[in-house]
Amino acid sequence: MEEIEIKTVLQVYDSFLELPKDVQGLMKQAVFVRDKAYAPYSKFLVGAAILLENGEVVLGNNQENACYPSGLCAERTAVYYAGANFPDVAIVSIVISAKSLQEVLTTPTPPCGSCRQAIAEYESKQNSPITIYFMGEKGKVVKSSSLANLLPFVFDNSYL
């Protein structure tokens, strides 16, 4: 028997203001689109701003549905838009902000497992890392310099 140890290293910024200026700009766009999310059921709004290699920025937010499972997270809304409209352009970074209408969210909100799996597909397709930044409404911002840090032991097309 052997053990496999998996180590993940993330960077934590104390606040939005500590981020590099270009990332601040993306976070502002994530916040802008977050506040337009359609989330009448959870009252939990999420926005994602994706920077593409060609400088284009793609925005997405969560879209809920009366049939709850038919809704979609912000990250996948944005990443699938990027995949649909810029299929040959690599994703450089995804910047995420979440806000609850019920409390002030100060905990950085990571992408859910399904979104991690979806983003992993693009990281593997483009063969270069995608940097992820995520925050709540206020407070600390977490940076992961690759999606792989957030989803070790990923199932990808090498298993097919």
Shortest spacing between CB 26 and ligand THU, in angstroms: 17
Q: Which one, 30 or 51, has the nearer CB to ligand THU? A: 30
Among the listed residues 5, 53, 64, 75, the single catalytic one is 75
- Find, among 50, 43, 99, the residue nearest to 75 by Cα: 50
Alpha-carbon gap, residue 50 to 7, rounded angstroms? 26
**Does an H or E element contain 58, and which?**
strand 57-61
Q: Which residues bind ligand THU (CB under 6 A)?
A: 39, 42, 44, 46, 62, 64, 71, 73-75, 111-112, 115
- Find, among 14, 49, 4, 55, the residue nearest to 29 by Cα: 49
Angle in degrees, CA 60, 62, 64, rounded to 5:
145
Shortest spacing between CB 46 and ligand THU, in angstroms: 3
* 3-state SS, residue 145: coil
Q: Is 3 a catalytic residue?
A: no
Q: Which one, 32 or 44, has the nearer CB to ligand THU? A: 44
Q: Which one, 20 or 41, has the nearer CB to ligand THU? A: 41
Shortest spacing between CB 135 and ligand THU, in angstroms: 13
- Catalytic residue numbers? 75
